[in-house]
A and B are shown apart, each in its own frame.
Chain A
Amino acid sequence: MMSRLVAQIGYPLAGVAFILAAWVFVCWAGNLPTVVLPTPDKVFYAFIARFDLLVSEGWVTLKETLYGFLLALVIGLPMAVAVANSRPLNLMFYPLLIGLQSVPKVALAPIVLVWLGTGMESKLAIVWLVAFFPIIVDTVAGLRSTPRELLELADSLRASRLQIFLKVQFPAALPFVITGAKVAITLAVIGAVIGEFVGSSEGLGFLLLSATSQLDTPLAFAALFALSVLGMFVYLLVELAERLAAPWLPPPSQRH
């Protein structure tokens, strides 16, 4: 019991302590100015002193991330269902989707900004672009890999197409949808930050950029830290949704 506690908490903490020590050592040994690499205590101080600013800018980035992600779900899922169940649609769009997946969507950010301006709309569009593909591609793959026996069982009972979809095909595809959503939410944060980098007047990405341009590196690091917290938070939200939607899946730590 005690040794498990040490393993689960002690070792990760030791890892963090090691990194912090290495960080302090590099600052001290290299005699680096704060503007290049601030010491951890300065970053911590900036984080506390500018906490209100980080929260308000973080709130903007959080909204962009979540709304864009939800938009990707709302549009991606029905399209996945259509593509997976219609042979013509599948032949028309599935290769296209796979091909488009390899396009670096963030490279489209400047163009999206030209189209939609520097407000919320362009951020939503960029987040949607990066989150949409993993969701639709994984969902289509899940819907098309329903175990053959379950389909035959349903067929032998003369199940309707709707029954097959609701009771067999979709629940069987749910683990794939969740996998896609986890990739999508991670990309969504990146999409939001890129959108803010390219043109924005608010958000953590904007804060990071303006802090570095003012040589306020401790604040930039504090913003980076806030972004990591935000990323973990939205990922945990998706995991929570997974627990609610698919309580039958073994917990993520026990897979593989």
Chain B
Amino acid sequence: MDRPHLETLTIEPQMAFGSIKNVSKIFSAGELLSRSAEPVVALDDASFDFEQGQLVSLLGPSGCGKTTLLRIVAGLIPKTSGSVVIGDHEVVEPLGDYGFVFQSPSLMPWRTVIDNVLFPMEILKRNNKAARQRAGELLELVGLSGFVGARPHQLSGGMQQRVALCRALIHAPQLLLMDEPFGALDELTRMEMNDLLLRIRRETGASVLFVTHSISEAIYLSDKVIVFSRRPARVAQEIPIDLPYPRSQRTRFTPAFTQAERIASEALGVLPPVDEKGTPS
């Protein structure tokens, strides 16, 4: 890198780590499984930024296009218009540097737990001794060190999802994409997983885009919540969450948490707006 280039870089304003600008996605007729005759607008002019190390939740009703946005950010499907920049890269195809967690654990039944975790390292051809050690450490972090050689079908749903989380983190990705990862779990397991995710973030400093339709989960986990409207998904509101870290289940009962929940509920349209005197309008 030569000096003038460096200087121009320092003059430029601080760029966000991730920048989604005016992204729209229109599925043409026949492109979707539903085979609708009309083109479907899944995403309409979505824009937001996020910083390195932030967890940003994409909150909205089911099937509103949040998942579509996540797949666009991952480079898995093309966008119709707009731009997605992660790090220094305009995303047009997968960067190979993401961790992915889906709603279902999606483990490979033919692999043991640790070999499932190591799958990304095999694809990236970095499956060495250090990788195995890191896999062991990650499994210990999620409390599964006793299940290294087990097969996925021997684990409960929550345990499988923890393995999936380790698989998403093994290659130390610059961005973690999570698509309603705890949506299929029962409430108590879900709270445990929320705390686990907060701890993992503290220890790895990972940046996370987190799709959910649970208001309280979004607020509990996030530095920022992006609320989407019904399809076609538009960004209805950006809500910064200033709850202090470390957060615990007690955080859910603080006034600031309730306040954030109220704002998010209003943005989602599940609460009727109130006027200045506090009476429903």
Residues of A within 8 A of B (CB): 147, 149-150, 152-159, 163, 167-168, 171-172, 174, 246, 248-250
Question: A152 contacts B100, CB within 8 Å?
Answer: yes
Total interface residues on B, using CB and 8 Å?
26
Q: Which of B74, B104, B123 contacts A159 (CB 8 A)?
A: B123
Mark interface residues in B123-157 (1 if CB within 8 Å of A CB, else 0). 11000000000000000000000000001010000
**In the complex, A163 Cα to B119 Cα: how many Å?**
11
Question: A152 contacts B76, CB within 8 Å?
Answer: yes
With A167-B122, A248-B151, A250-B153: A156-B108 Cβ-Cβ less than 8 Å: no
**In the complex, A239 Cα to B122 Cα: how many Å?**
30
Is B106 an interface residue when CB atoms closer than 8 A count as contact? yes
Is B269 an interface residue when CB atoms closer than 8 A count as contact? no
**In the complex, A250 Cα to B109 Cα: how many Å?**
10
The majority secondary structure among interface residues of chain B is: loop
Q: Which residues of B contact A152 (CB under 8 A)?
A: 71, 74, 76, 100, 102
Question: A172 contacts B71, CB within 8 Å?
Answer: no
Mark interface residues in B56-92 (1 if CB within 8 Å of A CB, else 0). 0000000000000001001110000000000000000
**In the complex, A93 Cα to B133 Cα: how many Å?**
47
Instruction: List 24 A–B pairs whose Cβ atoms lie within 8 Å, in order of A's numbering.
Output: A149-B104, A152-B71, A152-B76, A152-B100, A153-B106, A155-B76, A156-B76, A156-B96, A156-B98, A156-B177, A157-B94, A157-B96, A157-B120, A158-B93, A158-B95, A159-B123, A167-B122, A167-B123, A168-B108, A171-B110, A172-B110, A174-B110, A246-B110, A248-B110
For the complex of A and B, the 7 pairs showing the least CB-CB separation, nearest first, are A158-B96, A149-B106, A157-B123, A149-B102, A159-B123, A248-B110, A171-B110
Q: Which residues of B contact A249 (CB under 8 A)?
A: 109
Question: B123 contacts A147, CB within 8 Å?
Answer: no
What is the CB-to-nearest-CB distance from B125 to chain A, in angstroms, rounded to a whole number?
Answer: 9
Q: Which of B100, B102, B119, B171 contacts A167 (CB 8 A)?
A: B119
Residue of B nearest to A248 (CB): B110
**In the complex, A149 Cα to B180 Cα: how many Å?**
13
Question: A156 contacts B106, CB within 8 Å?
Answer: no
Q: Which residues of B contact A157 (CB under 8 A)?
A: 94, 96, 120, 123-124, 171
With A152-B71, A152-B76, A163-B123: A171-B108 Cβ-Cβ less than 8 Å: yes
Residue of B nearest to A171 (CB): B110
Residue of A nearest to B74 (CB): A156
What is the CB-to-nearest-CB distance from B41 to chain A, in angstroms, rounded to a whole number?
Answer: 22
**In the complex, A163 Cα to B95 Cα: how many Å?**
17
Question: A156 contacts B109, CB within 8 Å?
Answer: no
**In the complex, A149 Cα to B177 Cα: how many Å?**
13
Q: Which residues of B contact A158 (CB under 8 A)?
A: 93-96, 123
What is the CB-to-nearest-CB distance from A4 to chain B, in angstroms, rounded to a whole number?
Answer: 23
**In the complex, A163 Cα to B111 Cα: how many Å?**
15
Residue of A nearest to B179 (CB): A149
Q: Which residues of A contact B120 (CB under 8 A)?
A: 153, 157
What is the CB-to-nearest-CB distance from A245 to chain B, in angstroms, rounded to a whole number?
Answer: 10
**In the complex, A172 Cα to B119 Cα: how many Å?**
14
**Which of B104, B109, B110, B111 gathers the greatest number of chain A CB atoms within 10 Å?**
B110
**In the complex, A147 Cα to B95 Cα: how many Å?**
21
Mark interface residues in B162-186 (1 if CB within 8 Å of A CB, else 0). 0000000001000001000000000
What is the CB-to-nearest-CB distance from A206 to chain B, in angstroms, rounded to a whole number?
Answer: 43
Q: Which residues of A contact B122 (CB under 8 A)?
A: 163, 167
Q: Which residues of B contact A147 (CB under 8 A)?
A: 106
Residue of B nearest to A154 (CB): B123
Q: Which residues of A contact B124 (CB under 8 A)?
A: 157
List 4 other contacts, CB 8 Å, given A157-B96, A171-B110, A248-B111: A149-B106, A152-B76, A158-B96, A167-B123
**In the complex, A152 Cα to B74 Cα: how many Å?**
9
Q: Which residues of A contact B171 (CB under 8 A)?
A: 157
Q: Which residues of B contact A248 (CB under 8 A)?
A: 109-111, 151
Q: Which residues of A contact B98 (CB under 8 A)?
A: 156
Q: Which residues of A contact B93 (CB under 8 A)?
A: 158
Q: Which residues of A contact B110 (CB under 8 A)?
A: 171-172, 174, 246, 248
What is the CB-to-nearest-CB distance from B264 to chain A, in angstroms, rounded to a whole number?
Answer: 28
**In the complex, A126 Cα to B76 Cα: how many Å?**
46
Question: B96 contacts A150, CB within 8 Å?
Answer: no
What is the CB-to-nearest-CB distance from A160 to chain B, in angstroms, rounded to a whole number?
Answer: 8
What is the CB-to-nearest-CB distance from B107 to chain A, in angstroms, rounded to a whole number?
Answer: 9
Question: A156 contacts B104, CB within 8 Å?
Answer: no
Question: A153 contacts B94, CB within 8 Å?
Answer: no
Mark interface residues in B230-265 (1 if CB within 8 Å of A CB, else 0). 000000000000000000000000000000000000
**In the complex, A154 Cα to B124 Cα: how many Å?**
10
Question: B153 contacts A156, CB within 8 Å?
Answer: no
**In the complex, A174 Cα to B109 Cα: how many Å?**
11
What is the CB-to-nearest-CB distance from A107 to chain B, in angstroms, rounded to a whole number?
Answer: 39
**In the complex, A155 Cα to B124 Cα: how many Å?**
12
Question: B151 contacts A153, CB within 8 Å?
Answer: no
